Amino acid sequence: MQIYLIDDDAAVRSVLRLLIEDGSLGTIAGCSDNAMDALEDLRESHPDIVLVDLLMPGMDGIEFVREAKVRWPELRFVMLSQVTSKDMVAEAYAAGVDFFISKPVNSVEVASVLTKVSQLLAMDRTMRQVRSLVQGAAPAGPAPSAAKAPENHLSSAQQTVLHNVLHRLGLSGDPAYGDIVQIVGYLTGQGREEQATVSQLCSRFSTSPKTMEQRIRRAANAGMVNLANLGIEDYANDTFTEYAGTLYNFEQVRKEMDCIRGRSSTHGKISVKRFLYALAALCTGHPA
């Protein structure tokens, strides 16, 4: 991983460089003491991850992330901060920050966060491959009957990953659990090569695809509600930060949070297709 550092404190940059290089967590692609220079430098350095301080003179970290996200949407951002204000943390996540590292920085948290970002990058690569395959594939023909459904392609390790994710979302006992496992198992194999709708995917495994799709939709929605409640309680919750912007659209999760708080009557919306494909990407992003 190529990592870029932005902090107006030279001591913090030095400590981060030491922790990253000594821990074999990545390669330092560059560093800057201010956000404006960093925006120019990123044109040439092409990092995978940017670690940026929240409070800096001139352009602050949130403003920087907003600007950089527009120019380089595939970049991942980690924010360094001593601030615990929920509103400011929420603003940072909405701008595009993936994780926070608290100041003063320590080796355990830096290693933990960068490992999680590495997993996100692996998932990003898998999702790009999925999109490439889908865009290049011929239009899907009629879905085969449920009796000819392809076998589950999940390895035991991938099944464990999927179970852990669904468990953290509060879905391990959901009626749609088996449905999700079947479809995700298919998507990790040749299923990614087809431009299939959720309805077509369900038709491969059930003689009542609409009922199956409804079960999965309810489960995906329940997962978003559970995430929203976790976010309300603690924006830094690991499950919330890992899945609110990957399995779901973060803005929609925020809408659900506002609805739960009573600030809005509009619930967040889900994409069942994104939910299923992202689960498959999480599974294939881990060793089989």
pLDDT for res 87: 79
pLDDT for res 195: 67
pLDDT for res 148: 44
pLDDT for res 142: 46
pLDDT for res 86: 75
With contact defined as beta carbons under 8 Å apart, do 98 and 241 qualify?
yes
Q: Which long-range contacts (CB under 8 A, 24 or more apart) does 89-95 make?
A: 89/235, 89/236, 90/235, 90/254, 91/62, 92/54, 92/61, 92/62, 92/65, 93/235, 93/241, 93/244, 93/245, 93/250, 94/250, 94/251, 94/254, 95/62, 95/65, 95/66, 95/69
Tell whether the model's pLDDT for residue 285 goes beyond 50: yes
pTM, to two decimals:
0.57
Could you report the per-residue pLDDT of 121-136, keeping only the tens digit for each? 776 676 666 556 545 5
pLDDT for res 18: 94
**pLDDT: which is higher, 286 or 70:** 70
Could you report the per-residue pLDDT of 40-49, keeping only the tens digit for each? 999 899 999 9
**pLDDT: which is higher, 243 or 155:** 243
State the average pLDDT over residues 91-119. 88
Determine the straight-line distance between the first and last CA of the chain, rounded to whole angstroms: 21
3.40.50.2300, 3.40.50.300, 1.20.1440.230, 2.60.40.420: which CATH number matches 2-121?
3.40.50.2300
Residues of the chain with CATH 3.40.50.2300: 2-121
